[in-house]
Amino acid sequence: AQDLGMLAAAGVTAVPVHARPRVAIVSTGDEVVAPETPELLAGQVRDASSVALGAIVAEAGGAADQRGIVRDDPDALRAALGAALSDSDVVVVSAGSSVGARDETATVVAGLGEPGIWCHGLALRPGKPTLLADCDGVPVIGLPGNPRSALVVFRLVGVPLVRRVGGCTHAPPEPVVRARLERDLASAAGRLDIVQVRVRDGVATPLFGASALLSILTAADGYLEVPEPATGLDADSEVWVTLYR
Amino acid sequence: AQDLGMLAAAGVTAVPVHARPRVAIVSTGDEVVAPETPELLAGQVRDASSVALGAIVAEAGGAADQRGIVRDDPDALRAALGAALSDSDVVVVSAGSSVGARDETATVVAGLGEPGIWCHGLALRPGKPTLLADCDGVPVIGLPGNPRSALVVFRLVGVPLVRRVGGCTHAPPEPVVRARLERDLASAAGRLDIVQVRVRDGVATPLFGASALLSILTAADGYLEVPEPATGLDADSEVWVTLYR
- Lowest-pLDDT range, A28-32, A93-97, A192-196, B198-202? A93-97
My answer on whether A157 and A223 are in the same domain is: no
* CATH number of the domain residue B229 falls in: 2.40.340.10
Is residue B92's pLDDT more than 70?
A: yes
Confidence at B96, pLDDT banded by 50, 70, 90: low
Confirm whether A13 is domain-assigned: no
- Domain span holding position A191: 176-243
Q: According to the model, what pLDDT value does residue A87 have?
A: 94
Q: According to the model, what pLDDT value does residue A104 have?
A: 86
My answer on whether B92 and B188 are in the same domain is: no
Q: According to the model, what pLDDT value does residue A242 have?
A: 95
Angle at B171 between CA B167 and CA B177, to 5 degrees: 165
Contact A175 B175 (CB under 8 A): yes
pLDDT 10s digits, A153-203 = 999 999 999 999 999 998 888 899 999 999 999 999 999 999 999 999 999
Confidence at B174, pLDDT banded by 50, 70, 90: confident
Confirm whether B88 is domain-assigned: yes
- Using a CB-CB distance cutoff of 8 angstroms, which residues of chain A are in contact with residue B46? 8-11
My answer on whether A185 and A160 are in the same domain is: no
My answer on whether B88 and B201 are in the same domain is: no
Is residue B101's pLDDT more than 90?
A: no
Confirm whether A118 is domain-assigned: yes
My answer on whether A123 and A102 are in the same domain is: yes
Domain stops at, among A135, A165, A195: A165
pLDDT 10s digits, A15-42 = 999 999 999 999 999 999 999 999 999 9
My answer on whether A150 and A185 are in the same domain is: no
Is residue A102's pLDDT more than 70?
A: yes
Confirm whether A12 is domain-assigned: no
Q: According to the model, what pLDDT value does residue B209 have?
A: 77
Average pLDDT over residues A5-10: 94
Question: In total, how many domains does chain A have?
Answer: 2
Contact B6 A218 (CB under 8 A): yes
My answer on whether B159 and B180 are in the same domain is: no
Q: According to the model, what pLDDT value does residue A174 have?
A: 87
Contact A85, A112 (CB under 8 A): yes
- Cα distances (Å, whole numbers) of residue A125 to A179, A192, A207: 21, 6, 14
Confirm whether A171 is domain-assigned: no
Q: How many helices (H) and strands (E) does chain B have?
A: 7, 16
Q: According to the model, what pLDDT value does residue A209 have?
A: 77
Q: Which residue has the higher pLDDT, B100 or B198?
A: B198
Pairing between strand B192-200 and B203-206?
antiparallel
State ipTM.
0.90
Q: Among residues A204, A201, A238, A240, which one has the least CA distance to residue A221?
A: A204
Question: Where in chain B does DSSP place strands (E)?
Answer: 22-28, 32-33, 45-46, 63-70, 90-94, 115-120, 124-125, 131-135, 138-143, 176-181, 185-186, 192-200, 203-206, 222-226, 232-233, 238-243
Confirm whether A65 is domain-assigned: yes
- Sheet with B22-28, strands from edge to edge, namely B63-70, B22-28, B90-94, B138-143, B131-135, B115-120
Confirm whether B1 is domain-assigned: no
The residue of A4, A162, A176, A241 whose CB has the most chain B CBs within 10 angstroms, and thus the best one to mutate to test that interface, is: A4
Contact A3 B45 (CB under 8 A): no
* CATH number of the domain residue B72 falls in: 3.40.980.10
My answer on whether B46 and B116 are in the same domain is: yes
pLDDT 10s digits, B114-163 = 999 999 999 999 999 999 999 999 999 999 988 999 999 999 999 999 99
Q: Which residue has the higher pLDDT, A186 or A213?
A: A186
Nearest CA in chain A to B37: A11
Contact A8 B176 (CB under 8 A): no
What percent of chain A shows pLDDT beyond 70?
98
pLDDT 10s digits, A217-238 = 999 999 999 999 999 999 999 9
My answer on whether A212 and A125 are in the same domain is: no
My answer on whether B226 and B114 are in the same domain is: no
My answer on whether A197 and A94 are in the same domain is: no
Confirm whether B54 is domain-assigned: yes
Is residue B95's pLDDT more than 80?
A: no
Domain stops at, among A165, A200, A219: A165
Domain stops at, among A137, A165, A193: A165
Q: According to the model, what pLDDT value does residue B100 have?
A: 72
Of B1, B214, B243, the CB nearest to A9: B214
My answer on whether A160 and A180 are in the same domain is: no
